[in-house]
C-alpha cells in the first residue's frame, strides 16, 4: 500500500506528462506482481463495484473524529472531495502501521459486498486505524473512485507501452474487454498470444473529432465518405466460435440487454466483428435517444417495449472478417466487405448505415440541414483510404453536428464546484422570464475561461442574497447565452423542459436581464423540435 500511495503522491503533485509517465513506468517495472493488474484496473475505469456507500463513510468518520455534522459538511464543501475530507479529518491513531499490500485491501473490500453493515463498519474503522493519512486517502479513493490525479486510460496505455515495449494501439487492444485483476497478471494480459485467448475480446473503438469550421479544409470531396450521425449508443457486435457478444463504448458486455440481437448468433458469419450504433426503431425510422434510455440500464424488457421500440444494430464498419483483423485495410474495402456480411446475414436486427452521396461540399452543407428529418444529429465524414484506428485521432474521422440551439438567460443561483474548482463558484443555475417572474430551467457547466470564472466568482461573492446550504441565490443581473443540443418535455423541472448538453456559450455583458428569452420561447422551441 505504501508503494501505491507513493505513486499516487507523485502523480498528483505533477502536471507534467513525462514525469507521470516515468513514475508509472517505474512502478510497473518494479511493483508487486499481484498489485500491478489492480493498478491498471483502477486507472482504466475498471474499479470494482462499490461495497460501502458515501453516507456510511461520512457517518463513521463523524463518529470516529467526534465532530458535529455541520462541521463535517463545511469541511467537505471546502475540500470538495469526500475521500480526501475523511482522510484529513480522522485523528492519528498512533497504532502500528499496516504493511498489507494494495491487492489485500481491494480484495477485502470486494468481500464486503454482501456483508452486514456492522462488519463493513468494523473493517473500515480498522483500516483507518492501521493506515496513515496518505494511505487513508488512497484507501478512501479505492472505495469512492475517481482519483483525479491526471491519469486516465490513455496515460496508462502509454506508460505500459514504455514499460513492456508494446505499441500503444496493440496494448490498448490487449487490455480491452473483460478481465479480473484477481485472476490475471499483467504478464499474461500483455502476452502477444493472449489477444485471441478470449472469444469476447472487443477492439478499442475509433472515435471522431468535432469538425469546427466546415469541411472545405478537408480537401477533395471524392476522398471522403459521408454518413448520418446516429443518436443511439455506440456498439460492437462479435461473433466468434458460435457465440455472440455485444459491447458498449464503455466496454460493458450488454449482449443480454437486447434480445433482438439473439438471432444474429446463428445468422452472422463466423469470425465477424462489426462496429455500429444501437438504435430503437418504429416504422423503419430511428426513435429519439430517450426511447433507448429506457433499455440501457434495464434488467427485464417488457413485451410492449419489444413491440413498440425494437432495437436494431446499424452497422458502419467491419473490423474482423473471417476471423482476420482487417482494421488496417482502407475504409472503402472494409465497407465493401461489411455490405457483403450484412447481405449474407439477412436479418432485420442488422442494418447498414447508408452512405450519403454528394458531389461538392456545398451540396453536403445543404444535406446537413436535413439531418433532423433523417432522425440524425448531423453528419459523419470518413476518409476513404483510412484504416480503423484506436481512440480519438485527428485527421480521418470527423463528426459535423448540426448547430446547437441558443437561449439568453440570467443567472439566479450559484454553487461551489468540486476538486480543483472547490474554492470557486462555478456551478450556476439559469432562468428565463415568465411575465415578471423568473423560472429556472437549467444548470450549465461552465464554458467560461478561467479568467471569466474568477470574475463571476468574485461577483457572486459580492452579490449573493441568501444561502441555502451550499447554494447561494444571487441578484438576477448576469446574462449568459446558453447553448444546447436538444430540448424535451420534462417533469423534473418547474419549467417543464429539459435541455440536452447545456453549456455556457458566452457571457452577454451587452445584455440586461430584461432582454433575455422567455418561457414561451422555450415552449415554442420544444414544439418546433418535436416537429
Partner DNA sequence: TTGATAGCGTC
Partner DNA sequence: TTCGGAA
Partner DNA sequence: TTCCGAAGACGCTATCAA
Site string for DNA, 449-488 (x = CB under 7 A): xxx-------------------------------x-x--x
> 67 or 155: whose CB is closer to DNA?
155
Should residue 300 be labelled a site residue for DNA when binding is judged by CB under 7 A?
yes
User: What is the number of H-type helices and E-type strands within the chain?
Assistant: 19, 23
Return the number of the residue (98 or 171) whose C-beta is nearest DNA: 171
Residues numbered 82-141 forming contacts with DNA, rule: CB under 7 A: 117
Q: Which residues of 144-171 are buried (b: 16+ CB within 10 A; e: fewer)?
A: beebbbebebebbbbbbbbbbebebbeb
Our finding on whether 394 is near DNA (CB under 7 A) is yes
| Adjacent-strand bridge partners of 326 | none
Give the shortest CB-217-to-DNA separation in angstroms.
10
**120, 141, 229, 382: which is the annotated catalytic residue?**
229
Which triple of cell numbers denotes residue 377? 444529429
Which of 492, 509, 510, 531 binds DNA (CB under 7 A)? It is 492
Site pattern 194..233 for DNA (x: CB under 7 A): ---------------xx--------------------xxx
d(CA 483, CA 517): 13
Phi, psi of 152, deg, nearest 5: -140, -175
Instruction: Say if CB 478 and CB 507 are below 8 A apart.
Output: yes
307 binds DNA (CB under 7 A): no
Cβ 293 to DNA shortest distance, Å: 4
CB of 346 to DNA, least distance (A): 27
Minimum distance from residue 343 beta carbon to DNA (Å): 26
Spatial separation of the C-alpha atoms in residues 429 and 440, rounded to whole Å: 7
* Spatial separation of the C-alpha atoms in residues 216 and 525, rounded to whole Å: 31
CA-to-CA dists, residue 145 to 50, 236, 288, 330, angstroms: 8, 27, 32, 40
Residue 105 and residue 127 in contact, taking contact as beta carbons nearer than 8 Å: yes
Cβ(506)–Cβ(449) under 8 Å?
A: no
Residues 235-254 that bind DNA (CB under 7 A): 248-250, 252
Among 9, 493, 508, 511, binds DNA (CB under 7 A): 493
Rule CB under 7 A: choose which of 68, 94, 242, 297 binds DNA: 297
Binding mask 410-449 for DNA (x = CB under 7 A): -------xxxxx----xx--------------xxxxxxxx
Question: Looking at 122-163, which runs of residues are DSSP E strands?
Answer: none
Nearest distance from residue 40's CB to DNA, in Å? 13
Single residue of 3, 25, 26, 50 touching DNA by CB under 7 A: 50
Taking the C-alpha atoms of 525, 528, 529 and 531 in order, what is their torsion angle to the nearest 10 degrees?
A: 170
CB closer to DNA out of 16 and 340: 16
337 makes contact with DNA (CB under 7 A): no
Residue number with CB closer to DNA (178 or 490): 490
The nearer residue to DNA, 130 or 381, going by C-beta atoms, is 381
Nearer of residues 75 and 337 to DNA, judged by Cβ: 75
Taking the least distance from each CB to DNA, the nearer of 321 and 351 is 351
Judged by CB under 7 A, the stretch of 33-41, 362-370, 499-507, 521-529 that binds DNA is 499-507
Measured CA to CA, the distance from residue 40 to residue 257 in angstroms comes to 28
Question: 34 vs 422, which CB is nearer to DNA?
Answer: 422
DSSP code of 445? Answer: B
* Coil, strand or helix at 491: coil
Q: Which is nearer to DNA, 101 or 160 (CB)?
A: 160
- Minimum separation from the CB atom of position 226 to DNA (A): 17
CB of 382 to DNA, least distance (A): 14
Taking alpha carbons only, the member of 50, 54, 141, 130 closest to residue 90 is 130
User: Judged by CB under 7 A, does residue 490 bind DNA?
Assistant: yes
Among 9, 191, 463, 500, binds DNA (CB under 7 A): 500
Q: Does 53 bind DNA (CB under 7 A)?
A: yes
> Cα separation of 187 and 28, whole Å?
11
> Among residue numbers 19 through 38, which ones bind DNA (CB under 7 A)?
none
SS (H, E, C) 7-61: HHHHHHHCCCHHHHHHHHHHHHHHCCCCCHHHHHHHHCCCCCCCCCCHHHHHHHH
**Given the rule CB under 7 A, which of 177-185, 287-295, 314-322, 368-376 is the region that contacts DNA?**
287-295
Verify binding: residue 288, DNA, rule CB under 7 A.
no
Give backbone dihedrals phi and psi of 406, rounded to 5 degrees, phi first: -135, 150
Range in contact with DNA (rule: CB under 7 A) among 23-31, 71-79, 150-158, 325-333: 150-158
Interface with DNA in residues 373-392 (CB under 7 A)? 391-392
Q: Is position 229 annotated as part of the catalytic site?
A: yes
Contact 279, 230 (CB under 8 A): yes
Nearer to DNA, 54 or 126 (CB): 54
From residue 90, alpha-carbon distances to 3, 131, 132, 270, 355 in Å are: 22, 11, 10, 57, 60
Q: Binding residue for DNA (CB under 7 A) from 3, 26, 191, 234?
A: 234
CA 440 → CA 111, 456, 468, 526, distances in Å? 45, 19, 16, 16
Least gap, CB of 332 to DNA (angstroms): 22
The residues assigned a catalytic role are: 229
Amino acid at each position: 500500500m505504501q508503494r501505491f500511495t507513493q505513486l499516487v503522491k507523485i502523480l498528483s503533485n505533477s502536471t507534467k506528462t513525462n514525469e507521470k509517465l516515468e513514475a508509472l513506468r517505474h512502478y510497473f517495472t518494479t511493483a508487486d506482481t499481484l498489485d500491478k493488474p489492480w493498478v491498471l484496473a483502477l486507472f482504466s475505469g475498471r474499479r470494482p463495484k462499490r461495497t460501502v456507500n458515501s453516507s456510511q463513510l461520512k457517518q463513521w468518520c463523524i463518529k470516529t473524529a467526534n465532530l458535529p455534522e455541520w462541521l463535517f459538511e463545511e469541511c467537505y464543501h471546502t475540500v470538495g472531495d469526500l475521500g480526501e475530507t475523511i482522510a484529513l479529518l480522522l485523528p492519528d491513531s498512533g497504532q502500528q502501521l499496516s504493511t498489507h499490500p494494495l491487492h489485500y485491501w481491494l480484495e477485502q473490500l470486494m468481500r464486503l459486498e454482501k456483508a452486514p453493515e456492522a462488519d463493513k463498519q468494523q473493517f473500515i474503522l480498522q483500516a483507518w486505524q492501521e493506515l496513515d493519512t496518505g494511505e487513508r486517502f488512497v484507501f478512501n479513493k479505492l472505495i469512492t473512485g475517481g482519483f483525479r490525479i491526471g491519469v486516465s486510460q490513455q496515460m496508462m496505455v502509454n506508460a505500459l507501452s514504455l514499460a513492456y515495449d508494446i505499441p500503444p494501439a496493440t496494448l490498448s487492444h490487449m487490455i480491452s474487454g473483460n478481465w479480473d485483476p484477481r485472476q490475471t497478471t499483467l504478464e499474461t494480459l500483455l502476452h502477444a498470444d493472449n489477444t485471441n485467448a478470449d472469444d469476447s475480446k472487443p477492439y478499442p473503438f475509433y472515435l471522431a473529432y468535432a469538425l469546427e469550421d466546415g469541411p472545405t479544409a478537408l480537401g477533395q470531396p471524392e476522398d471522403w465518405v459521408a454518413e448520418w450521425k446516429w443518436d443511439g449508443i455506440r456498439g460492437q457486435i462479435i461473433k466468434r466460435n458460435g457465440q455472440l457478444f455485444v459491447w458498449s463504448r464503455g466496454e460493458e458486455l450488454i449482449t443480454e440487454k437486447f434480445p433482438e440481437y439473439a438471432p444474429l448468433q446463428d445468422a452472422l458469419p463466423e469470425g465477424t466483428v462489426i462496429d455500429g450504433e444501437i438504435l430503437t426503431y418504429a416504422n423503419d425510422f430511428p426513435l429519439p435517444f430517450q426511447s433507448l434510455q429506457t433499455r440501457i440500464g434495464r434488467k427485464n424488457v417488457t413485451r410492449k417495449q419489444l413491440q413498440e421500440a425494437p432495437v436494431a444494430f446499424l452497422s458502419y464498419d467491419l473490423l474482423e472478417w473471417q476471423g482476420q483483423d482487417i482494421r488496417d485495410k482502407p475504409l472503402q474495402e472494409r465497407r465493401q466487405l461489411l455490405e457483403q456480411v450484412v447481405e449474407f446475414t439477412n436479418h432485420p436486427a442488422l442494418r447498414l448505415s447508408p452512405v450519403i452521396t454528394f458531389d461538392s461540399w456545398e451540396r453536403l452543407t445543404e444535406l446537413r440541414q436535413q439531418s433532423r428529418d433523417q432522425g440524425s444529429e448531423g453528419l459523419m465524414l470518413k476518409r476513404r483510404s483510412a484504416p480503423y484506428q484506436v481512440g480519438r485521432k485527428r485527421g480521418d474521422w470527423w463528426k459535423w453536428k448540426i448547430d446547437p440551439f441558443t437561449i439568453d438567460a440570467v443567472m439566479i443561483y450559484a454553487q461551489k464546484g468540486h476538486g480543483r474548482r472547490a474554492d470557486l463558484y462555478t456551478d450556476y443555475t439559469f432562468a428565463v422570464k415568465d411575465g415578471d417572474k423568473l423560472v429556472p430551467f437549467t444548470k450549465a457547466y461552465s464554458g467560461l475561461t478561467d479568467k471569466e470564472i474568477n470574475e463571476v466568482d468574485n461577483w457572486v461573492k459580492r452579490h449573493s442574497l441568501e444561502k441555502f446550504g451550499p447554494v447561494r441565490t444571487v441578484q438576477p443581473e448576469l446574462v449568459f447565452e446558453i447553448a444546447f443540443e436538444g430540448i424535451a418535455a420534462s417533469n423534473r423541472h418547474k419549467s417543464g423542459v429539459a435541455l440536452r448538453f447545456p453549456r455556457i456559450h458566452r457571457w452577454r455583458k451587452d445584455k440586461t436581464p430584461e432582454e433575455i428569452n422567455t418561457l414561451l420561447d422555450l415552449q415554442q422551441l420544444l414544439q418546433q423540435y418535436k416537429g
